[in-house]
Amino acid sequence: MPPVSRLTPRLFDLSHAQLLEIAVAGCEASTEVKNRAEAILAAHKPLAQWAVEGVLLSSDLVPHLLAPLQLKDGAAAAVCSQWADSWKATSEGRRRLTRVAFDFPQDLLGTESFSMAVIPGGDEQLAVKSDSVVRILARDMSSSTSFEVPGGHDDVAASEQFLYTTKGGQYRLRCLTHDGTEVASYEDHQEKCIYSPVLGPGGLLFCVLSDEADYTQDEIIALDAQTMQPRHRFGLSLLSNAFGMAVVGEELFVCEKDNDRLQVFSLAGEHRRSIMGEWVRPVALCLVDDRLYLVEDQDYNEDEEGELINPLCGRRIFTLSLQGDTLQVYTNPDKGQFFGALCYFDGKLLATCTAIRNYRCVSDGIMAMAGA
């Protein structure tokens, strides 16, 4: 009796799960068995009609390949041009801000002065300044370093080696190591307040210089990020009440609050263009891949009946293309909470939230969003 015939009565006694285990093992052990199995499946369990017409007979398999994948735009572009085109055509449905859980240390909240910056590198960290204390946080929100900054500085930027801090109403910028040791500083001799530091390529650090007596005299200064020596100044007469900035390739985007627009300069200081949109009073920017995220300042202006003219102002995050087109508007569901600073950390867009507590504007929380 042939071996297969002897196996047949024994196979009849096995359960479905046992037969499946034998079939899988046979297919993995032998290409010939695998081919035979596929032939049997084709004869007894044909493909669904949608798969035949929509996949096997389709002239374009790319949409079917893209649908289940979660890739960055650059990864899609690296595959092939057709893949990249299809990825771009479907990207808006995938890249939309949605709120996600985020376990932030509550003892850092409830202060009037609050800011944060991402320390880049393989082991990405978050530098958080709460009043006069700076704390370095890992991805799991555990703290590795904590120190005080003299004067309780407001804004913070970070590189792999240094932290940069400024204080509203003061003329000084400090460069610190990650343990709080001051290594250099810059003080503006024209007595303009310095704030909103942002790092750029070529070892540059850009900051806003503000004349608080006349915001039309605001300008931008580019400093050497290590020595704090000034390189060049620009933007005078083109800015009124300048705020947050973002470096986008070889350009610097600047929020101009008084004129409800973004001003775009080359890194050498040449004015390129102005961008206006649905937003008003822009104060903060964050770049993630090929998207800009913009936050407005709260608007306290009221109409004759005592109602806010722009009640949503300060509660919205605008997702913009690099050309300034609005792709999405995310509104904070808490009417008493306003967005502040933005940063991109551990694959999430983080936004500081502030609220009025006992007639003070205090840090109320950190909102984390996926989809950036």
Three-class SS of 87-156: HHHHHHHHCCCEEECCCCCHHHCCCCCEEEEEECCCCCEEEEEECCEEEEECCCCCEEEEEECCCCCCEE
Determine contact, residues 160/119, Cβ cutoff 8 Å: yes
Reading phi first (left if > 0) and then psi (alpha if -120 to 50, else beta), residue 347 is in left
Spatial separation of the C-alpha atoms in residues 122 and 8, rounded to whole Å = 58
Spatial separation of the C-alpha atoms in residues 337 and 50, rounded to whole Å = 49
Q: Is 259 helix (H, G, I), strand (E, B) or coil?
A: coil
Type of residue at 101:
A
Tokens representing 134 are 């700076």
Tokens representing 340 are 């502040």
Specify the CATH number of the domain 98-370.
Answer: 2.120.10.30
Residues pairing with 271 in the sheet: 265
Per-residue pLDDT in tens (0 to 9) along the chain, 372 residues: 455 556 777 777 778 788 788 888 888 888 888 878 777 776 666 666 666 666 655 656 665 665 555 556 556 656 667 766 776 676 666 678 999 999 999 999 888 888 999 999 888 999 999 888 899 999 999 998 999 887 655 889 999 999 999 876 678 899 999 999 999 999 988 889 999 999 999 999 999 999 888 999 999 999 999 999 999 999 999 999 999 999 999 999 999 999 999 999 999 999 999 999 999 999 999 999 889 999 999 887 777 776 777 889 999 999 999 999 998 999 999 888 999 999 999 999 999 999 887 777 888 899 999 988
**pTM confidence score:** 0.76
Taking the domains of the chain in order of start, what are their residue ranges?
A: 3-91, 98-370
